[in-house]
Structure 1
Amino acid sequence: MYCSYQIKEYLDKILASFYVPEIELDFGNFNNSKSLKNEILSLNHTIEFPNDSLTFNIFVDENSFKNIIQTEINSEFHRISEQIKNIDFLIKSKAQAAWILVTVYYACFFMANLINRLLGRASINFSTTQLKSIFLNDTSPPLTKKLQENLRNLNEGSNHNYTCIIERSQQHNFLKIRLIPGGDKPHQAVWSNLFCNLNILDKKIENTEIKILKNIVNISEQKFPLPSKLRNDWNYSDQKYFSRLGTETAKDFLHLIQNPNALNSWILKESNSRNLTLKSTQEENRICSLAYVYCVLKEVFEKIVTRPSLPKNHRHLPNRLKNKKKKKRGY
């Protein structure tokens, strides 16, 4: 799909702006301590507190950031690849449709989360203990009285959602990681972040597929239910989908998962050519939007792990992706 190609091209430009266009991937050997969250908690980098609202900024040198990106891709590769294999197995074994839909959702969640992080926007959850370790560390800047009060008011045992925004720093060869409190819960934040990233891309490139994907993950104007709502409806809210009804309802959904080329006709059928507003009236069509998200993100993911900078020694890459890399040079 052309949409996945444009997202991948945009992703490469973002990484290049962070001065990490060449990333060596070794899927059999990675150090999880270099993940984005663990690197923040390492307290090995310069930190600043720009206000009293528990916002903080971390300044990371380019080499450290390159290690973060390597770790994020390497560590997520196995989880996403296994999830995709589970989907294929469930479909081949004719498993109950609701289980397949929920498994597809989590594959989408993991892929969207990785893509968001590579595009410089993510959601991170900190415990109260972790936040205090950041703000009260001996190497941290002095705290204002208001900031000290805000820290004291944090409930022990609570978790705190943060929006993480990565950008170039004014300091040469450094990146600035802004961490802003009050982000959405993880299964809403991932779609909110993806919408923000797609919105930027949509302004740069006129593309119908990108507009449709943006409509599907738009939290404020839900022309289709969010992928996370579909997960909730089919996994928690209504047990009827674990019956024959669910199997019948999901026929088109399963067909699209197995035949991504059929999505083009689904897009033409379900979209309004004037304003690209998808019409969600029947459950059959509503869940097909999740199939669309899955197929697009899966193509982006496969383009990420088969990018030209991948080293020759990639024995841990599945044969399916190795073959695709040989066939599609330059995407």
Structure 2
Amino acid sequence: MKEDQIIVEIFDRENWVVEAAPQIGPFIEESDKHLVMDNDLGKARFELINIEDGLFIRYSDVTLNHNVLFKEHGRKSKAKFMVFEFAFHGYPEGMTLSHFPDKSLSDEKNILIYSDNSSIYGNFPANLHHTFLTLYVSFDWLKRNFKDFLKSHSYFDIGIETNRTFFNKMEYGVHFEKTLEQLMSRSYPLELRKPIYKGVVLMIVSEVYYRLTDGAEAKYSMKKEIQGKLDELEQYIKDNLEEEISIEDLCKRIGFSKTKLHHLFKDYFKYSMYDYIKFLRMQKAKSLIVGTNLGISEIANKVGYNSVTHFTNLFKKETGLTPTQFKKGGYTEVFEGLRNLY
């Protein structure tokens, strides 16, 4: 880690401004919903706009004078919000979501859609300008406003009704840019601002969801009851990655024969049961290496491997690097390397 690098950590996205303030001040303007900064760290403007229960917007415009290691921690319990992130200049090279370390976030002109039980880690380098508009849409709000859509597209119930993480991204163009200009406008009278913002968010979420449905129905065409059982089985696997997990035990838990579960599992998760358990263990290992200071042997144990050598060999086969090499050099080098691993 570079000597002039500063660490900013956020643990509660709903109180982002309050948590960020003591870490990045002093400010020219300051409240619990609004910050304007011009100090040694850089220039920035942050704003949190509560539109209604379960719906708020975060606006961030930042140019930094120092490298900043940014860690926004995900919700530890079941996800409450779906996050729609517009990064107008792209994310800095090497930003990653904890549950999806193999997915690059840095492409320009993309909308990121993810559940708030994922953390974001990465390095914001000095002297680069970044602007973000982030919509936080609670699942209760989605169920109120997209009731018919969710009935017709059970794929999206996965994030709403279970603990599963969700991530997708799509390109946006002029159509979205014009819509976003309305969310960023301060020219509306105060009494009209919130209803106009809500209408714009409804348009954005509708457009995103209908574009995401292409091919989704084929992927998740099985009965919702079966999806629910498989989701519960996946959660059991995630909760017990440090234990020995047998296929026989999984069959008993779900009440299906080995043959039936094999076919359903492969159709739903696109992995065999054995490969998916290994995949989840490697994903968790990457997140622990990147997001904690645990030793390699501790991480191996936490993902179900008693032998550090066996764990190291599997990890190297998966990533092309040993766990030590993966961590070596601090966050900056790790994140910059992630894009080239896959």
Q: Same fold by TM (over 0.5)? A: no
More strand by share: 2
> Normalising to structure 2: TM-score of the pair?
0.30
Higher RCO (CA 8 Å, separation ≥ 6 residues) = 1
